[in-house]
Each structure stands twice: as C-alpha cells, then as structure tokens.
Amino acid sequence: MKAVLQDILYKVGLVSVHGVLDREVTSLSFDSRADLKDALFVAVKGTNSDGHQFIEQAIGKGAVVIVCEVLPEKISKKATLLQVKSSSEALGIIASNFYGNPSSSLKLIGITGTNGKTSTVTLLHNLMSDLQIKSGLLSTVVNKIGDAEIPSTHTTPDPITLNKLLRQMVDEGCQFCFMEVSSHAIHQSRIAGLNFSIAGFTNITHDHLDYHKTFREYIEAKKAYFDKLPSTATAIINIDDPNGQVMTQNSSAVVRTYSMKRESDYKVKILESGFSGLVLNINNHEVWTQLIGGFNAYNLLLVFSVATELGFNDIEVLTGISKLKPVEGRFEFIRSDSGIIAIVDYAHTPDALKNVLGTIQSVRTRNEQLMTVVGCGGDRDKSKRPLMAGIAAENSDKVILTSDNPRSENPDTILSEMRAGVPADKVGRTLVISNREEAIKVACTMAVAGDILLVAGKGHEKYQEIAGVRHPFDDLEIVKQTLKLLNK
C-alpha cells in the first residue's frame, strides 16, 4: 500500500513538525529491525525497550517519516520528524488511516473482561457462520476471516496487524468482526483509532497484576475502553459483576445491561444443568444448549444480547445458540470407555478456576471423586498462585499441583508458592508433581469409573514454555492417549 503522509495524519495530535508532509509512505513499522525503505517508523516506549533509541538506525534503513514523543538531539533532514504526545496512540490512529479506516466499514464488536472473552467472541463468530453471514474473528486462540484461519500470537494484535486484518475482512465481504479486547491492549493504545459499534463487558476478577500492579489500575484500564466509546456505540455490561456499572460511569455510549440475578435488559435463568448441557430461559424464551455451566449461561446471554443489538430477531438467534458447540479448551470434556469424565479448561485465574469447579460440583453426583490438576504460569502475577492452589484444594477431593508454562522461572519455586495456599487439612490429599505430563498421567491412573478429572490452566494451548523454549504439549491429547491405554 501507499499513502501520502498528510493524508494519514487525520486526528493525530501533532506537537511539532520538522520536514515536509507531502512524502509518500509505503509501509508502517514500530520495529527498527524491519525493512524500512520509504516507511513511517513510530518510536514507541515499550516495557522492554524504547523505540526512541533506534530512530537514527531507522532513518539509516530508509525510513522517511519518524513519529516520536521526544525529538532526537540531531534532527535529520533525510526524514520528516513528527512529535506527538503519545506514540502508541498515534500509531493506532495512523494505522487506521493508512488502511482506510476499515473498522468504520464493518461493525466491530469488542468484548473485554477477565473471563469469557474468547468464548463469547468465538460463539458469536460461530453463530454468524450458522446464519450464513461472513464475519471476522480476533481472539486468543485464532484469527479468522470467514472460515479462513490465521494464527494468533496475542489476545489483541498490534495496531498495524489489527488494521491490516480488518482491511482484509472488509475487502473479503465481512459484515462484522468479533474481537477480544485485552487490558494490555487498552493500556497500550492498541485499539486507538478503531470505531467500535458494540462493546461488551463480561466480568473483572484477579488477573494481570504483574502488569497493572494493582486491582484498581486493572479496573481503570478496562474502564478506559468504555470511556472512549462514541455516542453512536452501544455498551453491554454484566451488572451481576460488582464493577459492571463502573465501566460505563463516564461513557457516552448507549448502555444495555445483562444479568442472571438482577433486573436488566437481557436476563437469563438456568432451568436445567448437567453434563448433557443447559436448559436456559433467555428473555422469556426457553432454549437448550450443548454448553455446560453457569459461566456459559452468562457467555450465551452476552451472545444473545450482542446479536439482538445487531438487529437479529430472538428466534433466529436462539435457534443458532442451540446449535453452538463448546469452544476449544473451554470446559472441553471427554468420557472414557471406562466411564471417567475428563475436562480440559483454560482456567488460569482464581475466579475462572472457582467457576469451573463450581460448575462441576453443581452437576456431579458426589458418589465419585473429583481430581484437579492445576499449575500457574511463570513470569506472571505471583499473588494468584496460593489462591488458585487453595481453591483447587477446597473444591476437589484430590489435587495435583504441577507446572503450567514456567517460562524463565524455576518450576519448583512456583509450586512452592502454590503449595503455601493449600489449607492444612487438605495437604494430605494434595500431590506435587513438577512434570505436567507425568501429573496428568498419574491423575488418569488414580481415577476409576465415574470419577471426574479436571486439567486446568492451558486449555487450547498446544505448547508448554520452559526456560524460554516452547515445546509441543496438548493437555487434551495426553488425557485421551493415557485413558485409551488404561482402557486396554
């Protein structure tokens, strides 16, 4: 693509301009290692490095425009230098302009919250597929343009990748895009310049405190998303969450509410719940779904709310909901030939783990034992480690603490911090096995007919990151293979 610089600076707050604005730009980048011939380079201050340190290098590699917050001591005449208040915000706006503001050419629906984002956007995308409507998906698991899959590396991509994908979606006829909006993306202005039609809020619980430092900062990051919505947008919030209404206190958007416990615009009641699925009453309509658990009742209610706000009628939406299948790695379960039920779930926060275990408790007979295999990731929020171990121990008959993605940390250190959260009276029913594959195999071996086995933390992930290296690893496959061998 090509663009004249002055044409892609709309809504960019410029502090100062050094050089001409009629330059032609052929690409955008915030990575000085990229091919920068005739490029616009944005110097972004990241968590690990500062792009301002690479301005001279970027110009040497052919960048014709530099966007920065702090001007270099020597202002080069080889490139136009644009000083801005926030490089990260400018990057989002410039990227949107460069790709022709694609988020204004389709309806962009962004879902934020601690838990439920992936499930909700995936279910919405699947619902549209069932309704024969082409849409895009931007999620933790995968990005999609219609049915075509594009690997996902972040919950929310960087602004350049994001707008490029949105442009492709528009060019290929997508009417909607359903997108996860992470707190990191909001805080880092990755969504700057985007035009959201609908913003959904699921819930907010203990997570990402390694990044946001305090729960208040985490809440404020989520709230900033709603604060910036235009009056043409609709915000749909879960008012059963204590911070639900906080999200829209300063928002100009039209506000809609959903709930299981309070009066709201969209309401759900669980009529039946079991391993066979849920029977729900949604806005006075009864529907059966293959999905399991109260948390999925909330996810499906948000799906219904979004689809209704998009103009679809209740019956076609509910018919579509009845056909939806569980999302990969989200309460995904198998039943072995010997009658063992094994569940793999992405639950990697205290609240998510509590919800999954609560769901199991609500549908079990209590004539069986419930075993949980759980770990916590390295280089992430350490404060949730004892909490998750404690929740697993309190809500399971047996627990195996194991590794998740230890990354650069010593797995034994992580496990020691988890073990500190196990109540004294539950220690005897808790094992610690560092090797995750061995832990899963031991749990499968301990299980007998009718027992329930939960393997939590990784869900859809197909790798385990140890000492900075990603090794192929699939919880569900290991469970399947082990139970198959035990059945012989």
Domains defined along the chain, listed by start = 3-86 (3.40.1390.10), 102-321 (3.40.1190.10), 332-487 (3.90.190.20)
Other Cβ atoms closer than 10 A to 101: 20
Q: Which of these, 96, 107, 119, lies nearest to 202 by C-alpha position?
A: 119
Distances (CA, A) of 397 to 17, 401, 431: 66, 13, 12
Q: How many CA atoms lie within 13 A of 265 on its CB side?
A: 15
- Cβ proximity of 159 and 67 under 8 Å: no
Supply the pLDDT for residue 208.
Answer: 46
- Give residues with Cβ within 8 angstroms of 117, minimum separation 6: 111, 139, 140, 155, 180, 181, 182, 202
- C-alpha span between 432 and 441 (Å, rounded): 13
Ramachandran sector of residue 259 (left: φ over 0; alpha: ψ -120 to 50; beta: rest): beta
* Orientation angle between helical segments 294-309 and 117-130, nearest 10 degrees: 50
Supply the pLDDT for residue 487.
Answer: 81
Rounded mean pLDDT for each run of 10 residues along the chain, 488 residues in total: 95 96 96 95 90 95 97 91 97 98 98 94 98 96 94 81 97 98 90 97 72 74 95 98 95 98 98 95 97 95 98 97 93 92 93 92 92 95 94 98 96 97 97 98 96 95 93 96 88
- C-alpha span between 130 and 238 (Å, rounded): 26
- C-alpha span between 164 and 361 (Å, rounded): 44
- How many residues does this entry show for the chain? 488
